[in-house]
Structures are given as C-alpha cells and as structure tokens.
Amino acid sequence: MGKHPSTTKIMRKSIFLFLRNIHLFSSSPALLAVPYSAAVLLFPPLVSSSSSSSAAVFPALRNRLDALSPPLARVLAVALVSSLFAFPLAISSLLLAKTRAVGVLKDEDGRSLPLPVLVAAQLCGSSLRWGVDAACLCALFVGSDLMDDLGFSSRGMRIPIAGVGAVLYSILMSNACIVSNLSAIVCMCSEGGVLRSILGACRVGIGGGAAIRLAMPMNVGLAGVEALFRYRVVRGYGERGGTADCSLVVEGMFIAYLYSLLLVLDTVVGFVLLKSFREGEEEEDGRLYGGVKMYGNLLLVMDEDFRPYKS
C-alpha cells in the first residue's frame, strides 16, 4: 500500500484551509447548515422530554430493548426518532451547505452536479447507515432471545453483554456514518455516478483507519456543542418555566451557528482526506490497465473522472 499522510497533517491542513477561507465558509455554507444544526440540537431534548413519544413511534422496539437494557433503549429510541425528523433537512440544508463548501475548495467555475444526483448519493449513504443500524438491532434481538433460551436472563448477566453490544454497535455505526458523510463529498468531487461515490466513500472511510481517527475529534467537538446547547438553552428554558425570551433565542441561534461551522469544517476534513488518499494511491506500484487499477482480487475504477481536487 502507498503511504498516506498522517491524520495530524490532514487535520492541520484542513484547519489551515478553513481559516484561510473563513470569510467564505462562515457565510453561505455555515448559514445554509443552520436549519439542520437547529434540528439536530432541538429534536433530542424534545423527544426525550416526552415520556411517551418514543414508545408511541416504536412500541415493539422499546419493549424489546427495555428487556435488555433500559438506558440503551432510551438512547437508541431518542436517536432513531431524532434522525427520522432531521432527515429532510439532511438532504436539503446540510447537502446544500456541503455543496457550497466543496465549491469553495474546488474554486469551481460554475460547473456542479445536478442536485438530484447529490440527493441520491446522500440518500444511499443514509440507507447504508440505516441498514447497519437495522442489522445491529436484529443481532441484538437474536442475542437477547438466545440468552433467554440458555437461561442467562438475570440482570447481572445482561448488563455486561449489553455493554459489549453497545461498543460493537458504536464501532459499526461510526464506520457507517463516516461512509454516509463521505459519499456526498466523493460524488461532488468525482463528478461520477452514485454507485462510484459509495464505493469511493467505502474505500476512503474504511481503508487505513484514517477516517476514524479524523472523525473522533470532530465528533468530540460536535458533542461539546450539543452539551453546551443543553446546558445553556435547554436548562435555561426549564429554569424560565417553559418560556423563551429574546436572549435565549439569540443564544440558541448562535450555538446552532457554531455547530454549523463545525459541520463545514468536517466537510473540509473530508475533502482533504480524499485529496490525500488519491495522492497516496498515485504513489502505489499497482498495475494500471486502461483506467482500471488492480488491488488483489478487487477491481476499482480509477479513471480521470475521479478527481477529488483540481489538478
């Protein structure tokens, strides 16, 4: 395998590009992502504050997970309902913000992919994430039934197994989310088809582990902004007796804008990762036959259409 730049270099270069073009990234890309950011920040507190909302939407799911781990049931139910409500904004607000950010990085001269192609790529990436989610849930249900059949139904036996399942679920979902986030960026950069963007996102996201290491600080930053929103806005809303004044609304909008800036930075990181990945592959000694590069038994199209950056 070719040598790829370290995650530290990729992160440093991404931050450098972000700060150098902060006047461009902080305007239209960040503002376009504000509706999605507001939905991501608002929906989890709204869903968790309703004791019957998740049970009404997914009653069978909640009952089955309650038998294994009540905390896991609550977290998973809130995540599922929140992602369901935020999905329309993910294929509109967030996708437009990514398109604008990638356009700034590519310094486009007016050419861009049709929006339906980008929506299809984002939809396929989200479907992959939901498929992994459904597979993990099925495995969780089968494991719960198997434990009952083997007689391991006590709470002391279920808690460690639930912890191991939660760790495995987090690892699989992290990879699925990375592929989902990269699929639209690959589609914008390669100007190719949806299938090629998914394959490219899988190769970049899963191969080498660089995407996982880059996603960790970004996820920590996003989680920190979410915690800040809960501490300042959600708690302030409760302390005011369920009423929101102008200062609380402005503070909530400012935190949503900070969240949007991190989403734009995440797009920049994905773009730089794609560029570094292609530069590393150009240094490999693989055989090249008519635009098809061979890696063992895997054939991957690497024609001139796959260009995550301008030459």
> If pLDDT is split at 50, 70 and 90, which confidence band does 54 have?
very low
Predicted local confidence at residue 256, as pLDDT: 94
Predicted local confidence at residue 60, as pLDDT: 55
Residue 257 pLDDT > 80: yes
187 in a domain, yes or no? yes
310 in a domain, yes or no? no
CA distances 275 to 118, 290, 311, Å, are: 19, 22, 10
306 in a domain, yes or no? no
Q: Which of 30-34, 60-64, 137-141 has the highest mean pLDDT?
A: 30-34
Q: How many domains in the chain?
A: 1
CA distance 65 to 62: 5
Give me the mean pLDDT over the 73-77 stretch: 64
Residue 35 pLDDT > 70: yes
- Write out the residue range of the structural domain in which residue 239 sits: 7-301
Residue 304 pLDDT > 70: no
Predicted local confidence at residue 15, as pLDDT: 93
Give me the mean pLDDT over the 76-96 stretch: 79
308 in a domain, yes or no? no
Predicted local confidence at residue 152, as pLDDT: 65
Predicted local confidence at residue 250, as pLDDT: 92
Higher pLDDT, 45 or 21: 21
Higher pLDDT, 103 or 135: 103
Higher pLDDT, 182 or 135: 182
Give me the mean pLDDT over the 200-212 stretch: 76
Q: Which residue has the tokens 């929006």?
A: 115
Give me the mean pLDDT over the 68-85 stretch: 67
Q: Percent of the chain, pLDDT > 70?
A: 68
Predicted local confidence at residue 251, as pLDDT: 92
CA distances 159 to 66, 149, 162, 229, Å, are: 12, 17, 5, 31
DSSP 258-294: HHHHHHHHHHHHHHHHHHHHHHHHTTS---EETTEEE
Give me the mean pLDDT over the 6-16 stretch: 89
Q: Which residue has the tokens 């302030």?
A: 236
12 in a domain, yes or no? yes
3-state SS, residue 303: coil
pTM of the model: 0.78
Give me the mean pLDDT over the 42-61 stretch: 62
148 in a domain, yes or no? yes
200 in a domain, yes or no? yes
CA distance 10 to 210: 9
259 in a domain, yes or no? yes
> If pLDDT is split at 50, 70 and 90, which confidence band does 181 have?
confident
Predicted local confidence at residue 260, as pLDDT: 95
